[in-house]
Each structure stands twice: as C-alpha cells, then as structure tokens.
C-alpha cells in the first residue's frame, strides 16, 4: 500500500438519485427532464465512486449504515411530493427498432459491467426531511414496459382509449365470415392495450410495479405479445377460413354455382349487407370504445352500460328483422333483380331470404357479446365460435346431399327445388348463426357477466356515441354502394349467360372466387396490422411522424412478402385452384363451373397487391383518428368499381362479364392507393418510398419467373392426369415448385423482409 495521506471518508448514503429507465439515445420516444428519486436499499453500501479502487488506493473503512427514510405512500419519497415528470419529443424513430429494444429496469442499471459503463454513477444527495401529507396517487413507478409520465399502454392522454377504426367489410361475406371479420379487424386495435390496461390497473391497486430483473427486458413482453397477438389472430382466422372453405365446397357440391347457387347467395348475402349498412361498422367503431371506457370508469365495471347496449341492440335489430322479413321481395329485387323475373325463381329466392334475414339479429348480439368479453380480457370466444356456424351449415348441406343428391346428379334449379329442400337449407343457415351466438353465453358467465335487460337508455352516453358514428355510417354506405352495383350486374350477367348455355358465371362464382382471393389479406395483412396499430396509434398521439412513417413502411413491406407471391400464384394457377377446391369428385359440368371460378380468381389476382397496400395506408389515417379521409378514399374505390362493372356489362359477352368485373374490382383498389398515397405523405411528412419500392420491385422480379415455372408445371401435370385428381396434383406440384423458385430468387436478391419472416417461421416451428 502506498504511503501518504488517507483519502477523506465518504458521507453516508441515505438516498440518492438514479436516472430513470432510458431507451437508447436517438430514438423517437420522449426524453425525461427531471430525475426520478430512488431509495437505496439497506443492503447497498455507499454509491460506487467515480474512480474504482486500484492496487495503489488505500482501502477506506465503510461508514456505518443509517436506516433510510421509508417511502411515503402515494408517490412521495421521504414525505416530499416530487414534481410531475414532463416529456419532450426525442429524435427520429427510425434510429430505434422498437421490435428488438429492451428496457432496462433499475436493478439492471447496477447489475453488470455494461450497465455500469453505460450509466454514469449518481452523485450522493442528502435525504429530504419528512413532511406530513395525505397520499394523493398511485405508486411512483410506471407500469413496466412503458415510460414514466406516459399514459398506460394503449391509452391516450386523459385516460381515453385510442380510436378504433371502422370495419372495412368485404361485401360478399356470409354471416359467419362477417362476424369473424369483426373479430379480426375491429377488435385487434384494442386487444393488447385493453389486456395490459386491465392487468396494470389491478396490479396498481395491490402493490407498486417491481423493477425489471437484470438482463430481462421490461418491455420485451410487449414485443412478444405483439408478435403472439399476430400469430394467434392469424391462426384463428386461418381455422375459421379453413372451415369456411369446407362449407363453401359442400354448398357448391349441393347446389352448384349456377342459377340455384346465385339464388342462395343472394338470399344469404342480403342479411349481411343490411347488418353492415344499419349499424355493424358503427357498432364496433363507436360503441365498443364507449364500452371499454365504461368498464374502466363506472363503479360496476361497465356492467350496466353493457346491459343497456345489449338490450338496445336486441330491440333495434329485432325491429329490423320484422320489417326486413315483411319486405323481403323488395330487398331481393334491390340486390338481385333477375331472380324476380321468373315467378317460381322469385318464390324460392324470397323464401330463402326470409329464413336467412333473422340472422341479422344474431349477428348483432354475437358482436356485442364478443366485445364485452374482449373488454374483460377474454379474446378466444369471438374468434372461434364462427367455426360452430360453419360446422352446422356443413352438416345441413351434407344432409341435403344425402336426401336429395348432389348437384352433379340433380342439376337442381330454383324452379325445381322442393319446398322441403328450401326449408332444410334455410333453417340450417339460421340455426348456424343461432348456435354461434348462444355459444358466447357460457364465456360471458365465466367472465362474471350476467345479462339483465335495461331500458334506461337516456343519459348514459348512448346517444352521444350514436352521433359519433356519422362518418362511419357514410364510410360503410360508400363501401357497400359499389357492391350493390356489382351484385345486380353479376346476377344479370349470370342469368343471361345461363340462357345462352353458359352456367356458373354469375354471382355465386364471383363470391367463391372472392373468398379465395381475400384469404392472404385476412390471414396476413389484417393480423400484422392489428398488432402494429396500437404502436402506430401511440406514435400518432405523440405527434411522432417519423415513428408513423416507419410503422407504415414496416406494414407495407412485411405484408408484401406474403401478398405479392400469393397474387402471382393466383394469376398462374387460378383455374387449378378453382377446380381443386370446388370440383371434388364432380363430372364435366362441375369441373367447367369450377374452372370459371378459377378464371375469376386469376382476374382478381394482381388486385390483391393494392388491396392489401390500401388497407395498410388507411391505418395511418385511423391512427390520427381521421375517418373522413378514408371515407373519401372509399368513395373513389366504390365509384371505380361501379364504373368498371358497368363498362364490362356494356362491352363484354355475358359469359365473360363477371370475369371482367373481378378484374375491375381489384383495379379499383390500385386507384385507391394512388389517391391515398399523396394524402398520407402530406399527413406524415413523406413516406419511405424508396425502401418500399425496392422491396416491391424485388418481390415482383422474383415472382414473375416463378409464376412462369408454375404455369408450365401445372399444364404438364394436367396433360398426364385429368379431372379433379389432376387439378389437385397440379396444384401441389406446380404450387410447390413456384414457391421454391420464388424463395430461391428472393434470397439471391437479398429481400431482407423475407429472411425475417422465414426466421420467425422457423423459430415458431422449432418451439
């Protein structure tokens, strides 16, 4: 030990300041202004000195430890109320990848050499004198995974929830698919935040949030939850769509895709259209946030508000069903006028519609009950109960085939179907929605909710919520107006083509092709953006345009990795896909009808790319609580769809009219993207155009040669194997070969988003 004058002893450590948990510098999240006081635990000695002792530094005796003042309840340290932390916007978001960032807790700052090197040791401060005062507020620590001074995860300043966007229903959905779409689109913006808010509030009532363990990310759970939410919603949607495909296949096997299929589709689509137009979108966009807010603020946890809302929906939709059943002939004429030209055909279609129209009631109460469960953190029921509906309908049409025979042998028409057959199909469709709705009751009871009808609707916020639905109603109205034109013209074209000897080119074929075309959008795009939207909304609430740009860019590029290859697969293998799905064991007539469905799928194909891109872009406006711009954008799309449909009706032969409608339907979304893009750039100060364009161009460069290889392989296989088995073999062989060629070329082009997605898939399969 070196001789000399010993160093002065250090003062005792009673309390000292520690900088709050900071994200890496150069990020888009706020930077704290004042420090957060931190009470030193008793087992800690004096703070780490600025210079660590070395071999030539004399060892000093430690000062005796004095008990530190206890923390006062309610956010006071040592009895002194600390100033409220204020936050200021930080630098650009692009420097920080929010999906891989881990927030370090207080213990983590002292848990290792890296943390000690990164954070400058604090300066000792004397403990403040205790002063009496009532505990005014919650625990001093913010909820883990967030930042001090910010609202809880998913909530806007002032305790209000972020905006939930209206539902973009794709017109020709069945009742089960419409309610499933509500679960997949409307709920996700609130799925993760609501669960976190409820959990954090219940935890805050019991104890302060603990500090993060060293080496564990406090915010890592949020990132994991975001990815898991995408995977769970994608899985639920995939199962629902999978059973929906089986349902459609059985329906096609029973009644075909000709005039009888058009008659059933018109009757079955009518209640979905009415439900969406009357209040389906407004119910989710406006009343659901009110329901969540009442659950947080009301003394009874929102039970009374939920009972009022459910009672109001039941009474309102009950009246709608009564009037709709009485006016069924007028409604059928509105969407499918050719079905009313023949008296026998009109009688069958109207009878089917009267069986299907009561499903409006069950769609509405299913949605409300599902949102009540979502507000209580129970998300599974609404995603999976539509599977029960599909099972009931599959059983119903299978029973019809067993009793009356399949379409391949009966060639059933609306004029030739028996009244008992109409009753069987209509009641089976109605019972499916009834079972789907009643299956929610056990989940509600398990969540502690008991329904009690309440008619005291005035003075409880229901009227205000209804007034807020104005733009949502206009949005849905514009979205459905274009489809009404398509429905009328496709029905007319199908009837004219059938009269000329060309069956299977009407509304039923259009709807079946559209169901396949929408699958990548429903499984990939909706799931990814549902998980991204809460983060996007927080960035918009913080006026962090850079973060919004990055999230929109991420959504466009990530969804494109799946959507662009799917579009080219539909383009090259559309007829093969149609025959493989809709011509199981069928004769030449069934194969021909299924081929028409596949040709329409090929016409739809490339429109999937702008369809998905517009969906992502509109999330940017919804993040800023802007519903007016999406409304005007939807008007453009609907007008273009109606215009293209009318042009195809006037120019193309009747057997090709609906195929042209399918092409125009997708082309309209390309115009929608061109309208939305400059508005979004203006709103957020630009778009990551160069990076997005590079990703899309490289994906297209990889997809074009892969599609040519797939087309050649499918033609070769079908030359060897004919009929339905040949179509299935061609789909498996050509589809697998096309996918392999795409992945090989994409890797050579170094498409980083593809590598990320493949890595995520490998990681999940390896679990």
Q: Which tokens in the block code for residue 166?
A: 């209206």
Cβ-based neighbour number of residue 467 at 10 Å = 8
Interatomic CA distance for residues 630 and 636, integer angstroms: 10
Q: What is the mean pLDDT of residues 335-339?
A: 81
Whether 423 and 356 have beta carbons less than 8 Å apart is answered as no
Contact in structure between 618 and 633 (CB atoms under 8 Å) = yes
For residue range 659-688, what is the model confidence (pLDDT) as tens digits?
999 999 999 999 999 999 999 999 888 888
Comparing 722 with 164, the larger pLDDT belongs to 722
90 touches 29 (CB < 8 A): yes
CA distance 43 to 41: 6
What distance in Å separates the CA atoms of residue 490 and residue 265, rounded to the nearest whole number? 12
Would you call 575 exposed, middle or buried from its count of C-beta atoms within 10 A (0-12, 13-18, 19+)? buried
User: Over the chain, what is the mean pLDDT?
Assistant: 72
Burial (CB count within 10 angstroms: exposed 0-12, middle 13-18, buried 19+), residue 749: middle
Sign of CA dihedral 37, 42, 46, 48: negative
Look up residue 161 and give its DSSP letter: B
The 10s digit of each residue's pLDDT in 113-169 is 443 433 344 444 444 454 444 444 333 333 333 333 333 333 444 444 444 444 444
Q: What phi and psi values does residue 32 have, to the nearest 5 degrees?
A: -70, 145
Is the model's pLDDT at 244 over the cut of 70?
yes
pLDDT in tens, 438-483: 998 998 888 888 887 877 666 555 555 556 566 667 777 777 788 8
702 burial type by CB count under 10 A (0-12 exposed, 13-18 middle, 19+ buried): buried
Is the pLDDT higher at 567 or at 144?
567
Q: Are strands 80-81 and 76-77 parallel, antiparallel or unpaired?
A: antiparallel
Question: Are 218 and 21 contacting, i.e. CB atoms less than 8 angstroms apart?
Answer: yes
Q: CA 318 → CA 268, 313, 322, 324, distances in Å?
A: 18, 8, 6, 10
Least confident of 100-114, 417-431, 725-739: 100-114
Q: Is 277 exposed, middle or buried (0-12, 13-18, 19+ CB in 10 A)?
A: middle
d(CA 139, CA 763): 38
SS3 content of the chain, % helix, strand, coil (to 5): 65, 5, 30
Report whether pLDDT(510) > 50. Answer: yes
Token pair in block for residue 28: 């888009």
Q: To the nearest whole percent, how much of the chain has pLDDT over 70?
A: 61
Q: Is the pLDDT of residue 108 over 90?
A: no
Report DSSP letters for 490-510, one per residue: HHHHHHHHHHTT--S-SHHHH
Query: What is the distance between the alpha carbons of residues 389 and 271, in angstroms, rounded to a whole number?
Result: 15
Residue 685 phi, psi dihedral angles, 5° rounding: 75, 35
List phi, psi (to 5°) of 587. Answer: -85, -170
**Of 189, 186, 190, 177, nearest to 239 (Cα)?**
177
**Cα–Cα distance for residue pair 91/544, rounded to 1 Å:** 9
- Put simply, whether the predicted model's pTM sits higher than 0.85 gets the answer no
User: Taking CA 285 as the corner, what is the angle to CA 361 and CA 611, rounded to the nearest 5 degrees?
Assistant: 100
Cα separation, 496 vs 320, in Å, equals 33
> Residue 164 in contact with residue 284, Cβ under 8 Å?
yes
**φ and ψ at 223, to 5 degrees?**
-65, -45
Q: CA-to-CA distance for 489 and 530, rounded, in angstroms?
A: 34
């Amino acid at each position: 030990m070196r001789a000399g004058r010993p160093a002065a002893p250090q003062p005792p450590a009673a309390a000292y300041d520690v900088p709050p948990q900071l994200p890496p510098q150069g990020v888009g999240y706020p930077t704290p202004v004042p420090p957060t006081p931190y009470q030193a635990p008793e087992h800690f000695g004096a703070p780490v000195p600025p210079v660590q002792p070395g071999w030539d530094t004399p060892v000093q005796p430690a000062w005796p430890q004095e008990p530190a003042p206890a923390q006062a309840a309610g956010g006071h340290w040592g009895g002194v109320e600390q100033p409220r932390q204020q936050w200021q916007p930080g630098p650009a978001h692009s420097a920080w990848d929010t999906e891989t960032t881990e927030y370090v807790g207080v213990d983590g700052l002292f848990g290792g050499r890296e943390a000690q090197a990164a954070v400058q040791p604090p300066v000792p401060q004397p403990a403040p004198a205790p002063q009496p005062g009532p505990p005014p507020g919650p625990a001093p620590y913010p909820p883990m995974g967030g930042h001090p001074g910010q609202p809880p995860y998913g909530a806007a300043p002032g305790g209000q929830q972020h905006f939930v966007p209206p539902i973009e229903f794709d017109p020709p959905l069945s009742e089960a698919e419409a309610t499933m779409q509500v679960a997949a689109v409307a709920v996700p913006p609130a799925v993760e935040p609501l669960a976190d808010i409820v959990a954090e509030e219940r935890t805050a009532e019991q104890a302060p949030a603990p500090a993060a363990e060293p080496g564990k990310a406090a915010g890592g759970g949020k990132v994991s939850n975001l990815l898991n939410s995408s995977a769970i919603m994608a899985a639920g949607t995939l199962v629902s769509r999978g059973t929906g495909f089986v349902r459609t296949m059985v329906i096609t096997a029973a009644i075909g895709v000709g005039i009888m299929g058009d008659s059933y589709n018109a009757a079955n689509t009518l209640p979905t259209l009415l439900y969406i137009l009357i209040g389906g979108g407004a119910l989710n966009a406006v009343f659901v946030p009110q329901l969540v807010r009442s659950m947080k603020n009301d003394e009874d946890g929102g039970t009374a508000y939920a009972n009022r809302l459910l009672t109001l929906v039941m009474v309102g939709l009950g009246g709608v069903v009564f009037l709709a059943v009485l006016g069924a002939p007028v409604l059928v004429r509105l969407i499918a006028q050719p079905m009313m030209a023949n008296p026998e055909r009109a009688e069958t279609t109207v009878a089917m519609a009267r069986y299907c129209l009561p499903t409006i009631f069950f769609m509405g109460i299913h949605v409300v009950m599902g949102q009540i469960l979502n507000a209580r953190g129970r998300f599974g029921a609404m995603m999976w109960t539509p599977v029960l509906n599909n099972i009931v309908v599959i059983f119903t049409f299978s029973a019809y085939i067993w009793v009356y025979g399949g379409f391949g042998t009966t060639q059933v028409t609306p004029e030739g179907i028996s009244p008992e057959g109409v009753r069987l199909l209509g009641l089976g469709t109605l019972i499916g929605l009834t079972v789907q709705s009643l299956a929610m009751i056990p989940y509600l009871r398990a969540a502690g909710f008991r329904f009690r009808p309440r008619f005291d609707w005035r003075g409880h916020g229901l009227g205000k919520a209804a007034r807020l639905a104005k733009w949502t109603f206009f949005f849905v109205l514009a979205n459905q107006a274009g489809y009404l034109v398509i429905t009328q013209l496709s029905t007319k074209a199908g009837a004219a083509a059938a009269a000329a000897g060309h069956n299977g080119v009407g509304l039923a074929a259009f709807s079946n092709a559209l169901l396949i075309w929408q699958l990548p959008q429903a499984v990939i795009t909706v799931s990814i953006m549902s998980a991204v939207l809460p983060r996007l909304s927080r960035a918009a609430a913080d006026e962090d345009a850079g973060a919004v740009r990055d999230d929109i860019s991420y959504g466009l590029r990530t969804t494109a990795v799946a959507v662009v290859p799917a579009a080219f697969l539909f383009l090259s293998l559309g007829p093969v896909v149609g025959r493989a799905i809709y011509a199981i064991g069928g004769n030449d007539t069934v194969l021909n009808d299924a081929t028409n469905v596949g040709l329409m799928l090929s016409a739809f194909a490339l429109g999937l790319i702008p369809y998905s891109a517009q969906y992502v872009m509109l999330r940017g406006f919804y993040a800023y609580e802007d519903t007016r711009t999406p409304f005007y954008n939807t008007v453009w799309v609907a007008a273009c769809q109606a215009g293209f449909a009318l042009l195809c009706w006037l120019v193309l032969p009747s057997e090709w009219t609906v195929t042209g409608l399918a092409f125009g339907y997708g082309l309209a979304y390309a115009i929608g993207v061109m309208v939305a893009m400059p508005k979004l750039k203006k709103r957020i100060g630009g778009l990551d155009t160069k990076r997005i364009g590079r990703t899309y161009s490289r994906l297209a460069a990889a997809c074009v040669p892969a599609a040519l290889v797939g087309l050649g392989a499918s033609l070769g296989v079908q030359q060897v194997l004919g009929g339905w088995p040949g179509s299935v073999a061609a789909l498996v062989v050509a589809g697998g070969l096309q996918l392999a060629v795409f992945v090989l070329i994409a890797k050579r082009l170094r498409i980083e988003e593809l590598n990320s997605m493949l890595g995520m898939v490998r990681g999940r399969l390896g679990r």
